[in-house]
Structure 1
Amino acid sequence: MENCCGLVSDKNMPVPLKSISVELKVQDHVGTITSSLQYVNEEERSLEAVFVFPLPADAAVCHFSAKIGDQEIVAEVQDKQKARDQYDDAVSSGQQAFLLEESDESSDVFKLTVGCLSPGQTATITIVYVTELVIQADHSLRFCLPAVLNPRYKPADLVAGGASQVTPVCGGIPYTLSLNVDVMSSNPISKVESSCTLDPLVFLNSDHTQAKVNLSPGHMFDKDVELFLYYKNTHQPTAVVEAGVTTAQSGSLMKDPVVMISLYPEFPAEVMSSLSSRGEFVFVVDRSGSMDCMMHNGNGAQMRIESAKDTLLLLLKSLPMGCYFNIYGFGSNFESFFPQSVVYTEDTMEEALKRVKDIKADMGGTEILQPLKHIYSQPCYPDHPRQLFMFTDGEVWNTKEVLDLVKSHAFSHRCFSFGIGEGASTALITGMAREGSGHAQFISGVDRMQPKVMQSLRFALQPAVENISVKWDVPEGVTVDMLSPPINVLFQGQRALIYAQLKGESSGGSAGTVMVKYSLKDQAVTNNLTFNLKPAEDTGLSIHRLAARTVIRCLEQEERAGGADVEEIKKRIVDLSVQAGVSSVHTAFIGVNKDSRETVTGPLLQRTIPTQPMFAMCAMSGPMMGCAMSAPMPMMRCGVSQSASIPMPQRLMTVPMRCDDAVPQLAHFGAMPCALASNDEECESDEALNEAEPEPQKDSLMQLVSLQKASGCWELNTTLAHVIGSTEDEVTKQKPAQVDQKVWATVLALIWLHAYKKDDEVEWQFVAMKAASWIRSQKVGDLSQCVRAGNVLLKCHVTEDTLGI
């Protein structure tokens, strides 16, 4: 029986993509990635193959070529429809052709079509793109090579009308990945870490500003590859000026020098010492079927929905008294805990916590647009800026519509987005944060959700920066054209990137200055950076291409907003895309081998190359079993999207399936080894897999946090005593005379956090701040004696100053 998605040939042979090799060159904050994909046609007839794959959402694809034997065909950028027509003409006449295009639905998905490969013929496809590396909470720079492309959820009524071009196929990944990394930095390189196994880092010079490292051999490309680069002085502002192309048209972006500014605002200490107690906090949690998957495949992994529930507990305990909050769950529909946001009190917090305990991944598909529309329709509370926290592991078919909606309400809220698990859409997650003036986080591999969410809460509690302006001071004869959109948000310690085109010639000076001015709690602040106008060496055109990509994305959004000049905007997009040689939604890379021609008899075989869906440890029980088995499932064919009924497989895999939403992802049993067995072992029986597992022990930190009151205090009881490793009798006997029981319990909780959970401080920092504030409000006579007694009981040495009381 054939696999339901046609991932094997009619002779049950593997798909023809054999390997992927990647070269990553990092220069400071910018990465240039060269990916080579090798295909072999093992069929007896000419073959046409399709490979749908993810790239970072903000990447600029700038080169595409194919090598067949000794001949290399370099593709050029054209209007997308013209490129498609040229490809169809070439393939129909027996010529070899290659087409690379960005999905109409999402900017982080590309489709590569390889046409007319003769039997036994090998083709090596090379794709080059540039991307900005993202700053992490620990000051590292993150590079992600996405391997996983989760299905883009599409409502059933829309699936019937045509399949999504970004819906991946089911099946395993039969190819391996090699990755070589070269790093150059103006600051010394401290280390390079990865979610995968790396060979040792090799420094190439004495000052450690150049290094190389490789991914260890034999890596199966079945999960995202993350690299974290650590530089000394990562947060130092920098400027890079890149020379233009001498042969480019005068006055064009590619002709003139382009400067990329990386700024790191430092807010006054007195402002940062007191975080805002105001705000409306709206937490929006994905409850689609796929949230019943494991966070990762390692030991001790939580289900995604359980990790989200723990995170909601931590968030609810960390909110300041007097703010407003609400919690939404969404899937195919949505619901909220309260009709509208309510004031944060002990009663409303407890009511919300009870409902959090009952949350399940039982709401079907992934429809983000409707809950967002409902939230935005709610009136805002004066002097309580709205902060939206979005948690999802899914991808949606209407990503660009979602981003446009977020952008249209950017004046009334900030959006903090979290991509959960492998394969979360970078276009959706980073786009929502960018358009909503917030911050994006990805939780993958063995990452814990809580630390990253609490970092974003710190950003949300920072006072809003207002009246942001960027001014330039350059020598006479030089003018500056800003290419980046206006800066809408600044966070302490976070990077702001600015691209600008430098026109004219300097009549004297060789340096320029950029000044970023803003207001923060009625204080005027200025950050200055002076830079050399002389272009740097060895930068290639990466800065120009990223700048062009920035302008193209702004124009695409302007086009979607509509208006009388839509055709003119489209023309500008195509012209800039062709001029800069970077991808856009309206262009494609087309390459044709005009020297190769063979007679084609009958239709070409059409093969879809698998891009890994998220199969990791997702049991097909519970809500998944309730899915309608008659729903049509999209199937990819070259140049055609169609729906096909799903043939019932001989046996359904019960473990490594994506429980995604309203359209079940089915696979033939032999398509992919079970996640709980080796390739050579038979999977366990359904009965064994469905046996109830013992309830995991609750983490002691989360136990302590769950006991805190909304005001910040703890009550003295048996449960608290147990968490801190004592009994209620011992805790009561050690309590100093004249000290209130709540004060004593709260001091003990604070001491325990600082003494035994110091490494997790980012998670409990706001819990502790509330507790310290509450203790100070009680006006206790002799806190020193209370702290000394607490240290004796808990066998530690934490000072009063450390506790902040």
Structure 2
Amino acid sequence: MIHHSHLTPHKPQGGLWSIRDNKRINLPPLSVSVYSSILASISRTTLTQKFVNASASAYDSVRYTFPLYDGVSVISFKCKIGSREITGRVKERNQARKEYDEAVSDGRHAALMEELESAADAYTVSVGNVPAGAEVEITLVYVGELPHDAQVNGLRFAIPTHIMPRYGICDAAASFVQPQGSFTVTVDVQAAPGTWVKSVSSPSHPVQVSIGSVSTETLEESQAPSSHKASAKLGLQSASLEKDFVLHVVASSLAEPCAVFARHPTLAGESALMATLVPRFSAPADEAKHEIVFVCDRSGSMSGNSIIGLKNALLVFLKSLPLGCSFNVCSFGSQYSLLWPESRAFTPESFKEAAAAVEKFEANMGGTEMYQPVEAVLTNRNSGSQLEVIVFTDGGIWQQTELFKLVADSVDKSDGAVRVFSLGIGGGVSTALVEGLARAGNGFAQFVGDDEEMDRKVVRMLKGALSQHMRNVQLEVKWKEEDEGFELVDMVDQSLVLDVDEKGSKDPVDLKDGKDKPLYDANAGDSLSKDPVSTGTASVPETLPSLPVPKIIQVPSVLPSLFSFNRTTAYLLFSGATASRIPESVTVRMQTTGGSFSQSIPVTVLEHADDTVHQLAARKATKDLEDGRGWVAHARDSSGALIHDTFSSCFDSITKRECLRLALKYQIAGRYTSFVAVASDGKEVEQEEVEDYDVVSRSRFGRPNQIVLPRARAAPGIRLGGQARMAVARCSAMGQEVRMMSTSRNTTQPAQCAPMSGARMMAVPVAVLADREAGKPREEAARNAKEAAPLDKLRQVIKLGEIDGSWRGSRLLSELLDRRVAADASAEEATAGVLQWLETEMGEFRDVWETLAEKTRTWLSLFVA
């Protein structure tokens, strides 16, 4: 049995702290500032936190623990103690800890940042030898992909609650120090030129939004606003966040696939490709039998709005289930219980019993014990059906790896017949848990904040669960050779056959039959050596076999199921001969029971070298390996035998070695590596030589230290037309934007925001700008304010319906539909009236009711027949 604990209570509730006289003493936070640049769907965030040792004595070591969003890549770590700044380097975990401890023992300044072994989204920072009265400034820089948010069909940017936790001395009898300073967040958004930012809004905090410019622009530049730029700012008087900060970004360019290719600026013979896959296709209805099990967190922390939102969402879920499926509901806390011992067919009787049980849900089941209920659901599944598990939780567990392995093993043993989806509820939820469950379960994850509605997200999740199961999702790269007319195509999975013989290997499924359907259809609905690194390899046995590094490493190693309208990002790391070639296009292929699909995506080549794509790819690759997957798990020798089987006794060490190779090569923190910064002989470390990233002293706009944007070009020989040309143009712009996020140890800070003068405010009204350039103005704030009432009405109408998609006339239904339907209307009249009302009055909530409406149309057609 795995011993779980709810995440939030067990995380240290303070900033920098140390133990003295058996009491936890905290260093008060002076200020916290967050600056993030969102370029296309990638964010680069600089987090600066300042503390002060207000006591009259020095501290040997102080520390604090905080979460970051799962999957982000921390690429820079600096610590300033008084006037001395030390810069971190990534080293093997044990080596980094050893260097830190030795420095502290010698009385030198030192800092260490390491990922918690029990939670991939939690980090600990330790600072050594802090003098009395000294200020401590910690600066992190991290990059990451922004997840898709189905509620707004846009991007979700989040700062976890505990980045700057509340603080105070642990002893309740001791005095409590009130927070000081300020907490500021500035987020700049840039979509591709030629597209527009539709809306920027926060469901969690009041923010100041400016559409048409970014905060780093001067007053003169801001006089010529552009619809592809926006900026949002949050300012708090206290250096703490009471709840997660969430920002929604909706832009016109997010719904189209694109690919970017970049060469590394300092590592010769290394290049990388990032492909953003946005499937948009119409597939035949899945005729397979579905078993759907809802796994619901009813721990004590779910009280209040969380449990109410869960009940509302579940009732919409249940009413939208298709006839012919089977379902069950599992509740868990410290223990778990199933509504029925086995899933039951979806009938009026079973629906009524389930709905009655859901109405009685309370958050009264104790802590968060997740392994056993998930195990019970997976074990008791109906082998004749495809199992879809949808997990709702607001907490987290420390032993996440065991749970992920349980889910991944079940998916593998079922040959893909099992999928797991996850919905994180409220602030403080472990993103590593929610994202990790979906990754292991071949599904997708969503998050809903304390003040957000979850209806759209749960219905989108149900649609995903009812969609066809994908098989053999593969990538291939088409290269353009220098010899005119000669083309070469690489199937990515063939790169994992090491020392392959002349005959090669035959794919188990031939996807190139010339009859593939388009995966993106705009008209479809809405060498590893024994000592691979110079430091930190002591924990990896030197007797491990030497394996060549594949010429192409795909990340993730096995592409997940693709869901229509859900963004998925894949990376390719090239080395050796492939790194010198120029890709023309990347093609994704997959199979379903309804046929095969494919989509060829033109590649935009960055004209200047850039390492952002490499850092994102490397972190995702190490994450894949840490989860027990990664390319080494699928690599074969020349005889066709899996490396895993041939070297099973030392395979874990082989995997760890590959994690170390990637993390140290690209300087990213992870499970096996940490950032360590040590001052030499107590003196300030000299500034390291800054690598050339085209940083100029003065740009053409007159601003110092601005990063020059390169011109991106499409691969030679490309001929495009219509939407393909538009997609490449937007992706080309994304390539320019990615360039802005190149890492440098001399991190450029945002310029001071220009004063909001009357001229600047009146230059172009936001609504006018949106109407003129976007064509679809969206008053996001006003919509959020008015949304609750119509959404509640929609829920009541759905609740009155029958499970077959029909309605019966009643006085309440007539009132809800504003007398469109008579109280004594027949079933046919009432059902037709509801469908018309949904389509004419509830278009804004189409994502909530469209699955149910499919059943309604089917019922009406059968009734007429």
Task: Please tell me the TM-score bracket, short chain as reference.
Answer: 0.7 to 0.9
Identity %, equivalent residues = 28
Deviation at 1:135, TM superposition (A): 2.3
Residue pairs, 1:656-695, within 5 angstroms: none
Aligned to 2:656: 570
Paired letter, 2:626: E
What CA distance in whole angstroms lies between the structure 2 residues aligned with 1:109 and 1:509?
39
SS in 2 for 1:499: strand
Alignment partner of 2:201 out of 189, 193, 199? 193
Alignment partner of 1:218 out of 216, 222, 236? 236
Aligned to 1:24: 36
What CA distance in whole angstroms lies between the structure 2 residues aligned with 1:524 and 1:210?
36
Cα RMSD between the aligned structures? 3.2
Alignment partner of 2:270 out of 245, 252, 256? 256
Whether 2:826 is the aligned partner of 1:747: answer no
Deviation at 1:766, TM superposition (A): 2.4
Residue pairs, 1:604-623, within 5 angstroms: none
Aligned to 2:56: 44
- Describe the shift of the 1:335–1:718 C-alpha distance in structure 2 as closer, same or farther (beyond 3 A): same
Aligned to 2:807: 714
Aligned to 1:494: 566
- Describe the shift of the 1:171–1:324 C-alpha distance in structure 2 as closer, same or farther (beyond 3 A): farther
Aligned to 1:342: 344
What CA distance in whole angstroms lies between the structure 1 residues aligned with 2:67 and 2:579?
47
Deviation at 1:87, TM superposition (A): 1.7
Deviation at 1:280, TM superposition (A): 1.0
CA shift digits 1:410-449 (9 cap, x unpaired): 2231111111001211101111112211121111042111
What CA distance in whole angstroms lies between the structure 1 residues aligned with 2:128 and 2:799?
59
- Describe the shift of the 1:5–1:342 C-alpha distance in structure 2 as closer, same or farther (beyond 3 A): closer
What CA distance in whole angstroms lies between the structure 2 residues aligned with 1:189 and 1:65?
36
What CA distance in whole angstroms lies between the structure 1 residues aligned with 2:837 and 2:319?
17
What CA distance in whole angstroms lies between the structure 1 residues aligned with 2:365 and 2:208?
40
What CA distance in whole angstroms lies between the structure 1 residues aligned with 2:864 and 2:602?
50
Deviation at 1:211, TM superposition (A): 3.5
Whether 2:741 is the aligned partner of 1:731: answer no
Paired letter, 1:583: A
- Describe the shift of the 1:510–1:75 C-alpha distance in structure 2 as closer, same or farther (beyond 3 A): closer
Aligned to 1:580: 666
SS in 1 for 2:849: helix
| TM-score (structure 1 length as normaliser) | 0.73
Residue pairs, 1:595-634, within 5 angstroms: 595-596=681-682
CA shift digits 1:490-515 (9 cap, x unpaired): 11122221211234568998542211
- Describe the shift of the 1:396–1:704 C-alpha distance in structure 2 as closer, same or farther (beyond 3 A): same
Deviation at 1:46, TM superposition (A): 0.8
Deviation at 1:704, TM superposition (A): 2.2
Whether 2:338 is the aligned partner of 1:267: answer no
Aligned to 2:301: 290
SS in 2 for 1:186: coil
- Describe the shift of the 1:33–1:766 C-alpha distance in structure 2 as closer, same or farther (beyond 3 A): same
**Does the 8 Å contact 1:455/1:762 carry over to 2?**
yes
Larger CA deviation: 27-36 vs 136-145:
136-145
SS in 1 for 2:603: strand
Alignment partner of 2:462 out of 443, 451, 457? 457
Aligned to 1:355: 357
Whether 2:399 is the aligned partner of 1:398: answer yes
- Describe the shift of the 1:434–1:66 C-alpha distance in structure 2 as closer, same or farther (beyond 3 A): same
Alignment partner of 1:375 out of 364, 374, 377? 377
- Describe the shift of the 1:491–1:173 C-alpha distance in structure 2 as closer, same or farther (beyond 3 A): farther
Whether 2:238 is the aligned partner of 1:228: answer no
**Does the 8 Å contact 1:519/1:525 carry over to 2?**
yes
CA shift digits 1:118-138 (9 cap, x unpaired): 011112111111101122334
**Does the 8 Å contact 2:279/2:566 carry over to 1?**
yes
**Does the 8 Å contact 1:134/1:141 carry over to 2?**
yes
SS in 2 for 1:200: strand
SS in 2 for 1:762: helix
SS in 1 for 2:433: helix
Paired letter, 2:39: Q
**Does the 8 Å contact 2:831/2:856 carry over to 1?**
yes
What CA distance in whole angstroms lies between the structure 1 residues aligned with 2:388 and 2:244?
29
How many residue pairs align between the two structures? 633
Deviation at 1:486, TM superposition (A): 1.8
**Does the 8 Å contact 2:297/2:332 carry over to 1?**
yes
- Describe the shift of the 1:483–1:536 C-alpha distance in structure 2 as closer, same or farther (beyond 3 A): farther
What CA distance in whole angstroms lies between the structure 2 residues aligned with 1:306 and 1:56?
26
Whether 2:677 is the aligned partner of 1:591: answer yes
**Does the 8 Å contact 1:149/1:423 carry over to 2?**
no
| TM-score (structure 2 length as normaliser) | 0.68
CA shift digits 1:69-124 (9 cap, x unpaired): 44321111122122222222222232221110001011110011122110111121
What CA distance in whole angstroms lies between the structure 2 residues aligned with 1:437 and 1:507?
30
Aligned to 1:243: 263
CA shift digits 1:616-650 (9 cap, x unpaired): xxxxxxxxxxxxxxxxxxxxxxxxxxxxxxxxxxx
What CA distance in whole angstroms lies between the structure 1 residues aligned with 2:201 and 2:683?
48
Aligned to 2:853: 768
SS in 1 for 2:864: coil
Alignment partner of 1:71 out of 69, 84, 96? 84
What CA distance in whole angstroms lies between the structure 2 residues aligned with 1:507 and 1:424?
40
Aligned to 1:129: 142
Deviation at 1:41, TM superposition (A): 0.8
CA shift digits 1:657-688 (9 cap, x unpaired): xxxxxxxxxxxxxxxxxxxxxxxxxxxxxxxx
- Describe the shift of the 1:62–1:727 C-alpha distance in structure 2 as closer, same or farther (beyond 3 A): closer
Paired letter, 1:30: I
CA shift digits 1:436-469 (9 cap, x unpaired): 1112111104211111101111222222232322
CA shift digits 1:473-532 (9 cap, x unpaired): 113488760331121301112222121123456899854221111223442222001214
Paired letter, 1:457: L
- Describe the shift of the 1:448–1:183 C-alpha distance in structure 2 as closer, same or farther (beyond 3 A): closer
Residue pairs, 1:80-229, within 5 angstroms: 80-137=93-150, 138-148=152-162, 174=180, 176-187=182-193, 188-190=195-197, 191-195=199-203, 196=205, 197-203=207-213, 208=226, 211=229, 213-218=231-236, 220=238, 221-229=241-249
CA shift digits 1:380-439 (9 cap, x unpaired): 342x32111100001111122212222112223111111100121110111111221112
Paired letter, 1:459: G
CA shift digits 1:195-221 (9 cap, x unpaired): 431242342676938635241333643
Deviation at 1:282, TM superposition (A): 0.5
